[in-house]
C-alpha cells in the first residue's frame, strides 16, 4: 500500500513554492529530496516519491520551483531564472537536513539523505546540494546519495536549435506572447483546456488521465508559463559549457549515479552526455523504453523507481 502525500505551499528564501510531502521529515532515518525537471511542478512526481518512500521506509519531499505550479507569484510579475531556482533549492536543502538531523537524534540512529533530480532538476539539485555543503558524500554530516534521472547538465547538439531560438533577440517577445496565450487558455472550462492541450501537444495524449488533468490545471497560467520559459532561456545560455562530472563525483564521494534512456531517444540527456559522464568515472545506467517525461505514465514511473532502488543497492 502506497504512502499518501500532501501538497502545500511553503516559503523558503525568495518566495513561496509548492512542496509535496510524504510523511514528516525526521519521522524516519532516511529522507528523500526530489527536485523536478522543468516545468517544475511538484505534483508530477508525487507518485514516484510515494513509491520510493514506501520501499525505502523513508519520508520524502518534492520541492517545486519558484513561480511554477499553483504557488502565488511574489511580486505578481516575478520571473525566476536558473540562479534563483538553484538558490531556492539550496535553502530548501538546509531546512530539510536540519529537520532530518533533529529527528535522527531523537530516534538515536544515523540519518541518511537521498537526493534525486530529474532533467534540469538534476543540475539544480546538485548545485543546491553543493551550496548546502555537500562534501565527499555528506551534507552537514548526513551521508548523502545522489541520483540524476535523465540529467540535463549540459547543452548537447540535439538541443542546439531549441537553444538558439531561446537565446535569440526575439525570444523575450515570444515569451510574453506565449505567457499571455496560456493565461487565456486557463480561463476555459477544464474539459476544453484538456482537449486543447491534447490537440496542441502530441506528448500529452500519452499521459495517464490524472496527469492530463494536472497539466490542464497547473500549466495554463501567465506566471507559470513565463517562469517555465524564463528557466529554459537560462538553461540554454548557461549550460553551453561542458559539465564537470569529475568534480561532481568528488563532491558526492562516489555515492552518485546517473540514469539515462537508451540511445538518443532523449534529446536532453543523450548518449554523448552519458559517455562523458562515464569517462569521468561516474556510475552510469541505461534504462530501455523510458521517455524523458517518465513520471506521466504508471509503467515508466515504476520502471524508473525499480532502477533507482537497484542503483541504491549498488551504492550500498
Residues 50 and 145 in one domain: yes
Residue where the block lists cell 530529474: 118
Neighbours of 314 (CB within 10 A): 10
Residue 208 CA to residue 232 CA, distance in Å, equals 25
Dihedral pair phi/psi, residue 298, rounded to 5°: -60, -45
Q: What is the mean pLDDT of residues 41-66?
A: 96
Q: Give the strand pairing for 59-63 and 112-118.
A: unpaired
Which phi-psi region, left, alpha or beta, contains residue 263 (left: φ > 0; alpha: ψ -120 to 50)?
A: left
Residues 105 and 30 in one domain: yes
Residues 280 and 132 in one domain: yes
Residue 68 CA to residue 219 CA, distance in Å, equals 8
- The total domain count for the chain is 2
Q: What is the mean pLDDT of residues 70-75?
A: 82
Q: Is residue 1 part of a domain?
A: no
Secondary structure (3-state) at 198: helix
Q: Which of 207, 235, 263 is the last residue of a domain?
A: 235
pLDDT of residue 195: 85
Q: Which of 200, 220, 235 is the last residue of a domain?
A: 235
pLDDT of residue 262: 79
CATH of the domain at 11: 3.40.50.1820
Query: In the numeric block, which cell numbers belong to residue 104?
Result: 535522527
User: What pLDDT digit, counting tens, does each position of 107-162 carry?
Assistant: 888 999 999 999 999 999 999 999 999 999 999 999 999 999 999 999 888 788 88
Q: Is residue 209 part of a domain?
A: yes
Average pLDDT of every residue of the chain: 91
User: What pLDDT digit, counting tens, does each position of 76-107 carry?
Assistant: 788 999 999 999 999 999 999 999 999 999 88
Residues 50 and 165 in one domain: no
Q: Is residue 272 part of a domain?
A: yes
CB-count exposure of residue 226 (10 Å: 0-12, 13-18, 19+): buried
Secondary structure (3-state) at 135: strand
Residue 242 CA to residue 298 CA, distance in Å, equals 33
Residues 203 and 169 in one domain: yes
Range from 15-19, 32-36, 191-195, 296-300 that averages highest in pLDDT:
32-36
Residues 145 and 284 in one domain: yes
Q: Is residue 256 part of a domain?
A: yes
pLDDT of residue 206: 82
User: What pLDDT digit, counting tens, does each position of 230-275 carry?
Assistant: 999 999 999 989 999 999 999 999 899 999 987 777 888 988 899 9
Residues 272 and 154 in one domain: yes
Residues 13 and 123 in one domain: yes
Residues 150 and 267 in one domain: yes
Q: Is residue 40 part of a domain?
A: yes
311 pLDDT tier (thresholds 50, 70, 90): very high
Q: 145: part of which helix (H) or strand (E)?
A: strand 142-149
Residue 141 CA to residue 152 CA, distance in Å, equals 28
pLDDT of residue 231: 95
pLDDT at 200 over 80: no
Q: Which of 202, 235, 268 is the last residue of a domain?
A: 235
Residues 245 and 225 in one domain: no
pLDDT of residue 108: 82
Pair 248, 273: CB distance under 8 Å: no
Residue 295 CA to residue 301 CA, distance in Å, equals 5
Residues 188 and 199 in one domain: yes
Range of the domain at 224: 159-235
> Is the Cα dihedral 261, 266, 267, 271 positive or negative?
positive
Residue 162 CA to residue 87 CA, distance in Å, equals 26
Residues 79 and 215 in one domain: no
Amino acid at each position: 500500500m502506497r504512502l499518501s502525500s500532501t501538497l502545500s505551499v511553503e516559503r523558503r528564501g525568495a518566495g513561496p513554492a509548492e512542496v509535496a510531502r510524504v510523511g514528516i521529515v525526521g519521522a524516519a532515518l532516511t529522507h528523500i529530496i526530489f527536485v523536478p525537471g522543468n516545468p517544475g511542478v511538484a505534483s508530477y512526481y508525487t507518485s514516484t516519491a510515494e513509491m520510493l518512500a514506501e520501499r525505502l521506509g523513508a519520508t520524502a519531499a518534492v520541492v517545486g520551483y519558484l513561480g511554477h505550479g499553483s504557488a502565488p507569484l511574489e511580486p505578481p510579475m516575478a520571473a525566476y531564472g536558473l540562479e534563483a531556482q538553484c538558490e531556492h533549492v539550496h535553502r530548501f536543502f538546509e531546512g530539510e537536513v536540519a529537520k532530518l538531523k533533529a529527528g535522527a537524534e531523537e530516534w538515536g540512529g544515523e540519518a541518511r539523505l537521498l537526493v534525486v533530480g530529474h532533467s534540469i532538476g538534476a543540475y539544480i539539485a546538485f548545485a543546491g546540494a553543493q551550496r548546502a555543503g555537500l562534501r565527499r558524500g555528506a551534507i552537514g554530516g548526513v551521508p548523502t546519495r545522489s541520483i540524476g534521472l535523465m540529467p540535463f547538465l549540459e547543452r548537447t547538439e540535439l538541443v542546439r536549435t531549441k537553444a538558439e531560438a531561446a537565446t535569440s533577440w526575439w525570444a523575450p517577445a515570444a515569451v510574453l506572447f506565449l505567457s499571455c496565450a496560456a493565461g487565456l487558455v486557463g480561463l476555459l472550462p477544464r474539459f476544453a483546456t484538456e482537449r486543447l492541450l491534447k490537440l496542441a501537444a502530441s506528448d500529452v495524449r500519452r499521459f495517464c488521465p490524472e496527469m492530463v488533468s494536472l497539466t490542464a490545471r497547473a500549466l495554463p497560467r501567465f506566471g507559470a508559463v513565463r517562469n517555465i520559459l524564463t528557466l529554459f532561456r537560462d538553461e540554454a545560455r548557461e549550460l553551453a559549457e561542458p559539465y564537470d562530472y569529475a568534480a561532481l563525483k568528488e563532491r558526492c564521494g562516489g555515492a552518485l549515479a546517473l540514469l539515462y534512456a537508451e540511445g538518443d531517444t532523449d534529446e536532453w540527456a543523450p548518449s554523448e552526455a552519458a559517455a562523458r559522464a562515464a569517462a569521468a568515472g561516474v556510475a552510469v545506467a541505461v534504462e530501455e523504453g523510458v521517455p524523458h517525461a517518465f513520471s506521466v505514465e504508471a509503467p515508466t514511473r515504476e520502471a524508473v523507481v525499480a532502477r533507482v532502488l537497484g542503483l541504491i543497492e549498488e551504492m550500498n
